[in-house]
Structure 1
């Protein structure tokens, strides 16, 4: 029944309606002596009609349904007193506009119907009313009645049509706003997924290295203190690097700013060193080597895929040699990581494998992760385009 309006909108509607009521009442009282009849009854009718139509004007945006009801009540009172049309009737056009622009679906069509019914009532009232009727309907009055009907219907429908056009514009703006919000939410969700994927890659890899080093240090502490010291140094370096990456990711979560520096092919040697420091025999074969500088997106995808694949080798491998193969062709790069399996491969892929596939798909490529006998193979093919 009532729409939610801002305070300034309510104040504006009430002030406009009050000014309209004072102006209309002044005009009505000026015209009252010329209408004949009992002066007190004429003044009473003017006051009642002005109050009803001004109230409808004040409520037109807050409650279009109530405004339409008050407008009809004002018209009925006006006809009951036998008053002719007057300037106060201009409020009816504003009410019809509001029913089309702001009303519910029911009020929208009630306003449309009121335009036709109102035009018909106006025509009948003017033709046979006390001020304009002259002996009822005659053949000579029919053309006049038709002209009045067309003019009244055109005026009332014009107000309603303008409101309908405004309603369409409002709905279009709301749809655009909803679409923008949906797009913003989709972008934010993609960013959260990307950050979660990066967080998983960084934390899982670093923790796998730290665990492997800690286990090695515990076993070597008794027989080789130097090995234990080296392992602790590797743990410290890996943890500091992971902490810096996590802080960068948390900064991206807190602030709307550009991404920080992303890993490139130059960082692969550090990644290999971390894996070797964890006690894994790592064999890397790059053939052919990249010609020029591959696109940054391809470099990041290759780094993250290798990082996750080597992390899985640390967690699930049996300590045997891990093979890494990179083949940089003119239009694509092929990545393969092979490691012996020490633990059973879960039936459903984990977050790491899902993340690797998502990265490959976002880069326009594909990735396959499967167990081939007692060896787990991760193979990917990513497009690189023309080297930068």
Structure 2
């Protein structure tokens, strides 16, 4: 999901970016992007955040808190950036003053390695969320890069669409749409289509990777996910979050209640992640429970939208702390099944999972999906690695420097492994 910063601040602040500068004639302005409603292109001296944060071609608020303190990323990658949006009717994304969803960014480095990486953002963020942890990294390796805002963003995504699950289902459609388009753009720009295309993402972005490899494997060479969210028919977050919302308030006082601690561990939250619990309780568990529940089960709290924040256990009908997915009507279970993964991937996938992840803990997410893939008979297509000390995002290192360590290096090592696994060697290439 998403982490804005460790300071207490309003969540998901709207940032209006400067409209990217006009492209030089004869270069970026000649690039046509099929199927879009609006684009603005620019040739940039540096497509990485070292350059784009100075020129208004990224949103630092969108990627704030996703990396460990003092992280350095590559820079000095010249090329062309295309910003724009596909036809859409919702308006949660205010970037560039466009007030238009289904925004995207495509980056085309001058020195291309023949590959394309496509990403969706974690949590409720937008198209620039992965700029530090994915875009900078892959651009430095020569990849073209494309990212989408998933078609809706922010804490009221449930207002997009006509029925339960519509907003989440749009996420998948927008990733597919951008992948198809980005392939056409790279073909026109470089003279041939990408020789290898990877889907990559963190958290909800990892969920998108898995969905694409299950449903649109024809578009990809492989995928790479990091602490991926996994919606499953038994509830996913709607099953794992309420126990934490109930137990943590009993655990928080000092001395900690042993029964509450045992309840947290029984719900899958890893022992050793305790220093992160207060932050997650204030910032993520409750927010995400209410947003996802409102998207999939809007009748639970009647006419109220998004429930009551941090309502105490036993408050009464409509309190998300008391939510019991198993007891909900069949229609709710059908809505969850609609967005659920199956494990039936058809392209190579590497998953990395932090052992101290207290939002999508291994026992309830990473381990579960690995078993799902094996159950479909595709175990040979899935490599699953648990990273000791990894939290849900690298920004959480600041909460527990003695035990939590960054995972960005593991993510990039996994990309190298995926490349070696899926790209033909010189002796076998055509």
TM-score when scaled to structure 2? 0.23
Which has the larger helix fraction? 1
TM-score when scaled to structure 1? 0.24
* Larger RCO: 1 or 2 (CA < 8 Å, sep 6+): 2
Task: Please tell me whether Structure 1 or Structure 2 has the larger radius of gyration of its CA atoms.
Answer: 1
